Structure 1
């Protein structure tokens, strides 16, 4: 089972920062999940929210700010916003990587960047899964780079995620843990889908999901997995 650090080790260190990813590795994860947006100058940045207001000393929408403007901000006082390039360099050969396409229009630059990392930098497509809640982003990625392994995120319906997974030849379904039962996990796995579930922090829930036989659990506290 994959022990997946949520935005790194979100329960311990500021989310989606290099320090958070290093902490997750120190805690023994074999996978890390994080989010990407495209900023105004075209780079892919690792950030969860659509605005910088919650976690930085700045304000504004991520896609309207340049990389230089984003880099000038402080994340919870002493961290910086990181690029996907920086994260992939840090994590190379250290763990499995789950990249969530959070912002719009992320599929095209991400498809190109992953192709570059596979062809030039020693990565394999087996090292990644790319997930999203967004139909259009998943559709684009499946068309632009069908070698990329896809995961369909859902907070509402395993059945809908299943339909999208079939449509896009996805490898996995990523449901909120409250949607899972022993039966639907078993059916999904019989159909050939991996089940990576989020965001599971309580020991009782972790034990139940392990019993169901999920393939990976995303947690803010990966040491509990």
Structure 2
């Protein structure tokens, strides 16, 4: 049985302050870590920063995500550098600073979260009439992201729930692999992967047929049997399948036995033998 790639979700967000340099350093120190998954969006000046939520004043399990407020893309870099993430002492880093904390031996899955707008249309396979406009909306930010990533010596994989982001990445960063993130509409994700000749698809953990996880409710996804056999489809298309996001060794083992290529995990140690 092959061992899936261990992908640290936001730098093992279950035990480290997500998307921070502290999380990058923690994940890099773990021998099992082969890749990190992070989220990028622009600060007010367009500089890519590593942060998941649209707003600085959200929360995680009742704890403030930061001590700041407002939309990330309307906030200047100096203010972001002063925002404390999850009361951890760590702040919101630029993408450049985050990557500088990692060795070249660790890959990074850079999720293109948004280009500086709440109007993103995630999870859609866009009609032909909308694709060019959506690509152009993303392109300036993707160019900034690629410029930073070119200074990193490790593997980079771009992913997004948004077709416009994948389209822009294919135009701007043709030399980098890309992955379509699937959500509630699995077929839409597959359409995007086909349309842009992606190297991978990233489905949620309950979308892999034949596992006990299949059909369970997860995140905003309802309890329903997968409408598509993603593994069979991916093998026919030549895509890697990297599944998000698992919390336990049992979940990891189910997906490993199913034959997925990578697993995004909240905690270190989930891929070890019992």
Per-residue deviation at 1:116? 5.9
Find the counterpart in structure 2 of residue 24 from structure 1.
27
Aligned to 2:98: 87
1:122 CA displacement: 6.1
CA positional deviation for 1:13: 1.1
Runs of 5+ in structure 1 lacking a partner? Answer: none
Three-state SS of the structure 2 residue aligned to 1:224 is: coil
The answer to whether the 8 Å contact 2:159/2:180 transfers is yes
Moved more, 106-115 or 5-14: 106-115
The 1-side partners of 2:145 and 2:265 are apart by 27
Q: Name the structure where helix makes up a greater proportion of residues.
A: 1
Asked if the contact 1:57–1:75 (Cα under 8 Å) also holds between the matched residues in 2, the reply is yes
Equivalent position to 2:43, from 39, 44, 48: 39
1:108 aligns with 2:119: no
Conserved in 1, the CA contact under 8 Å of 2:158 and 2:176? yes
Check whether the contact 1:101–1:107 (CA below 8 A) recurs between aligned residues.
Answer: no
Alignment of 1:8-23 (within 5 A): 8-23=11-26
Find the residue that maps to 1:10 and give its secondary structure.
Answer: coil
- The alpha-carbon deviation at position 201 of structure 1 amounts to 1.1
1:123 is matched with 153
Q: 1:219 to 1:104 in 2, by over 3 A?
A: same
Give the Cα–Cα distance (whole angstroms) in 1 for the partners of residues 85 and 156 of structure 2: 26
Query: Can you give the 5+ residue segments of structure 2 that lack an aligned partner in the other structure?
Result: 59-64, 117-137, 211-228
Asked if 1 retains the 8 angstrom alpha-carbon contact of 2:142 and 2:168, the reply is no
- Say which one has the larger Rg: 2
- Correspondence for 1:71 among 81, 89, 112: 81
Q: Which runs of 4+ in 1 moved over 6 A?
A: none
Instruction: Give matches, 1:90-169, under 5 Å.
Output: 90-104=101-115, 107-115=139-147, 117-118=149-150, 121=151, 123=153, 127-169=155-197
Cα drift, residue 212 of structure 1: 1.2
Tell me, in whole angstroms, the C-alpha distance in 2 between the residues paired with 1:107 and 1:7: 24
**1:48 aligned to 2:57?**
no
Tell me the TM-score normalised to structure 2 length. Answer: 0.76
**What's 1:223 paired with?**
269
> Per-residue deviation at 1:107?
4.5
> CA distance change for structure 1 residues 116 and 13 in 2, over 3 Å: closer, same or farther?
closer
Alpha-carbon displacement from aligned partner over 1:60-108 (angstroms, at most 9, x marks no partner): 0000001111112111221111010011212241311100001225543
Task: Please give the alpha-carbon distance, in whole angstroms, between the structure 2 residues aligned to 1:190 and 1:135.
Answer: 22
- Residues 108, 144 of structure 1: 8 Å contact kept: no
1:174 aligns with 2:174: no
Asked if 1 retains the 8 angstrom alpha-carbon contact of 2:180 and 2:189, the reply is: yes
Shift of the 56–122 alpha-carbon distance from structure 1 to 2, 3 Å rule, reads: closer
Q: TM-score, normalised by structure 1?
A: 0.91
Give yes or no for contact 1:175–1:196 (8 Å, CA) kept in 2. Answer: yes
Q: Secondary structure at the match of 1:221?
A: coil
